[in-house]
């Protein structure tokens, strides 16, 4: 036993000179005269410099892992800039954990820890603000732009995206693989005209289609529980009080969904199909931008822990929304439309600002709200009125 212990190799310690890594990073991007200009920083960090520094400041002040500490010899450890940069690089490029070692002077294990602590801190510090349900002011803005595009009462589009799970446990592969395909995990999202993601439900197995994911999704929980603001709008002379999402053809014919016309006959139907399919692409664009910003989502995930995968996806959505807000002026729907100010009115669409989020909801109210969301007759009437309204 002693011989076996002696034969084990002692773990090699590599002196990486972490201080030099911090100094190089500072001089390249954060000094008064950085080596690389702002556009290069934006491309490599996926966000503007002041937004990244805001994130670093919040994490270094409120997340203990990102505070720079001293060891027993009084030597400073890794800086918050090094840790956050390592995490952002892994999210942005989707590469192995040891690819940041040579530049930032972080080992593979340390880089992986930085990523795990980073996504947890992003969720805890920014999730409540940047992955929130639409407030009444948000709904007013969404209804305003929906009406400008010819769809009164529309507040976004909904769809699903699959993320390949390369290291899925063998026992789960049948549950997460469809047919002979590779295992995937599904993200259901609602996106608006400016690519902001208002709803993200992640974790459903890849064998489920969009309808099965919808059955598990909490997207309509606020409406069913009586906590959603009341929305009122008129289409073709008729009054409606339930906002809706634009969807593709797989979704059911509910009052909360409006699909395109599969085989449009006549100019009215063709115009409606063209406008609906154009506006519905908002969520597809959001998925594309999300994957292009964070290649870790585009590439097959190498993590084996489903909980960690879910945190990475949630953190990427939050960061995406932070970037969208920071660069809002670049996402204007129509350049000729002045910046909308909540409370100025939205034409025929209004939001009741006096609603109560503590409204008691019994089983009858819950069933009635559920039936209102799934009403087929309202769907058919609304779709017909939208066709006439666009024409």
- Within 13 Å, how many C-alpha atoms sit on residue 292's CB side? 8
Identify the CA nearest to 53 among candidates 78, 79, 35, 77: 79
Over residues 1-20, mean pLDDT: 66
* CA distances from residue 64 to 50, 60, 67, 121 in whole angstroms, order as listed: 22, 7, 5, 10
Q: Is 90 exceeded by the pLDDT of residue 188?
A: yes
Task: Name, in order, each residue with C-beta under 8 angstroms of 364's C-beta and a sequence gap of 6 or more.
Answer: none
Q: Work out the average pLDDT over 34-60.
A: 92
The mean pLDDT value for 182-192 works out to 92
Share of the chain above pLDDT 90, in %: 36
Shortest CA distance to 81 belongs to which of 96, 67, 93?
67
What is d(CA 214, CA 201) in angstroms, rounded to the nearest whole number?
9
* Mean pLDDT value of segment 43-72: 90
How far does the chain reach from its first CA to its final CA, in angstroms?
Answer: 86
Per-residue confidence (pLDDT) for residue 357, from 0 to 100: 45
pLDDT, mean of residues 372-390: 87
pLDDT at 73 over 60: yes
What distance in Å separates the CA atoms of residue 123 and residue 318, rounded to the nearest whole number?
7
pLDDT surpasses 50 at 173: yes
Q: How far apart are alpha carbons 321 and 325 in whole angstroms?
A: 6
Strand-pair category, 154-164 with 244-246: parallel
What dihedral do alpha carbons 71, 73, 76, 77 form, nearest 10°? Answer: -40
Phi and psi at 52, nearest 5°, equal -65, -45
276-319 confidence digits (pLDDT tens): 888 889 999 999 999 999 999 999 988 888 899 999 999 999 99
pLDDT at position 370: 83
The per-residue pLDDT for 360 is 46
User: Of 355 and 263, which is predicted with more confidence?
Assistant: 263
| Closest of 234, 274, 238, 276 to residue 257, by C-alpha | 276
**Domain-by-domain residue ranges, the chain?**
16-129, 136-390
pLDDT at residue 71 is higher than 60: yes
Determine the Cα–Cα distance for residues 235 and 242; give it in Å rounded to an integer.
12
What are phi and psi for residue 72, nearest 5 degrees?
-65, -25
| pLDDT value of residue 317 | 94
Is residue 160 predicted with pLDDT exceeding 80?
yes
Asked if residue 127 lies in contact with residue 217, where contact means CB atoms within 8 angstroms, the answer is no
Query: Beta strand 238-240 with 350-351: parallel, antiparallel or unpaired?
Result: unpaired
HSE, CB side, 13 Å, CA atoms: give it for residue 252: 14
Mean of the pLDDT values across residues 130-134?
89
Specify the pLDDT at position 348. 58
* pLDDT tens digits for range 330-359: 544 433 334 445 444 444 555 554 444 444
Are the C-beta atoms of 247 and 283 separated by less than 8 Å? Answer: no
Residue 37, burial from CB neighbour count under 10 angstroms (0-12, 13-18, 19+): exposed
């Amino acid at each position: 036993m002693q011989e076996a212990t002696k034969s084990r190799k002692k773990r090699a310690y590599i002196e990486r000179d972490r201080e030099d890594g911090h100094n190089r990073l500072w001089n390249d991007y954060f000094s008064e005269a950085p080596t690389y200009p702002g556009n290069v920083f934006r491309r490599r960090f996926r966000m503007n410099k002041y937004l990244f520094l805001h994130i670093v400041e919040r994490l270094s002040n409120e997340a203990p892992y990102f505070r720079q500490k001293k060891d027993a010899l009084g030597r400073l450890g890794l800086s918050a800039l090094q840790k956050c940069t390592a995490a952002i690089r892994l999210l942005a490029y989707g590469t192995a954990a040891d690819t940041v070692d040579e530049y930032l002077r972080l080992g593979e294990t340390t880089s992986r820890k930085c990523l795990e602590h980073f996504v947890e801190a992003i969720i805890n510090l920014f999730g409540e603000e940047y992955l929130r349900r639409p407030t009444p002011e948000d709904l007013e803005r969404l209804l305003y732009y929906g009406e400008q595009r010819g769809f009164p009462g529309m507040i976004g589009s909904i769809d699903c995206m699959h993320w390949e799970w390369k290291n899925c446990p063998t026992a789960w592969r049948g549950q997460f693989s469809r047919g002979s395909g590779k295992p995937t995990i599904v993200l259901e999202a609602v996106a608006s005209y400016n690519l902001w993601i208002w709803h993200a439900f992640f974790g459903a197995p890849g064998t489920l289609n969009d309808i099965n994911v919808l059955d598990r999704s909490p997207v309509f929980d606020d409406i069913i529980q009586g906590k959603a603001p009341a929305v009122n709008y008129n289409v073709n002379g008729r009054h409606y009080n339930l906002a809706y999402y634009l969807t593709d053809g797989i979704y059911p014919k509910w009052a909360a969904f409006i699909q395109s016309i599969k085989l449009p006959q006549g100019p009215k139907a063709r115009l409606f199909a063209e406008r609906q399919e154009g506006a519905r692409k908002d969520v597809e664009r959001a998925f594309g931008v999300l994957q292009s910003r964070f290649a870790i989502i585009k590439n097959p995930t190498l993590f084996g822990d489903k909980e960690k995968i879910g945190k990475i996806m949630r953190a990427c959505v939050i960061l995406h929304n932070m970037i969208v807000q920071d660069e809002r002026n670049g996402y204007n729907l129509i350049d000729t439309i002045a910046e909308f100010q909540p409370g100025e009115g939205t034409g025929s669409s209004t939001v009741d600002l006096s609603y109560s989020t503590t409204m008691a909801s019994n089983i009858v109210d819950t069933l009635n709200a559920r039936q209102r969301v799934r009403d087929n007759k309202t769907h058919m009437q609304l779709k017909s009125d939208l066709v006439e309204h666009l024409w």
